[in-house]
Amino acid sequence: MYCIYASFLYIAILGLERSFVFFRNKRTALRRGFACFVAANLLWLFAWNIANHPYEYVYFNIVGQQQFAEKSFSLDYWDVSFIDLIRYALANDDKKNLKFTYAESSVYLMLTEAEKNV
């Protein structure tokens, strides 16, 4: 499905450009209103994506996940979700020394000095 993304993006940008051409000859209030509407929608979409997809790169749709994703890909290549789990354990566990086992050392590099010393 990734090859279709460029076509959808092209169609969206073409529609946006034609909309701006349509409003070019209209009154100033309509032009500014349309530009504000587009800007507000883009800001809302940007904020929504950040809030709802913190680990966007680990997502696979139902079809791809069942067929090949879980078998063929590391679902958290940069180990970002591991950091959140380790920080949750550090904040909520009363043990003095916690030990974590993970395959990659990149997780250790992302911890703060205070977190490493716990």
pLDDT at 99 over 70: yes
* pLDDT one-digit tens code per residue, 15-59: 999 998 888 888 888 888 988 999 999 999 989 887 877 666 555
Cβ(115)–Cβ(87) under 8 Å?
yes
SS3 at position 6: helix
Structural domain spans, the chain = 2-52, 80-116
Q: So what's the pLDDT on residue 14?
A: 95
Q: Which two tokens stand for residue 11?
A: 């169609």
What gap in Å lies between CA 114 and CA 118, rounded to an integer?
7
The pLDDT value recorded for residue 37 is 93
How far is the C-alpha of 55 from the C-alpha of 1, rounded, in Å?
A: 19
**pLDDT at residue 106 in the model:** 73
48 residue type, one letter: W
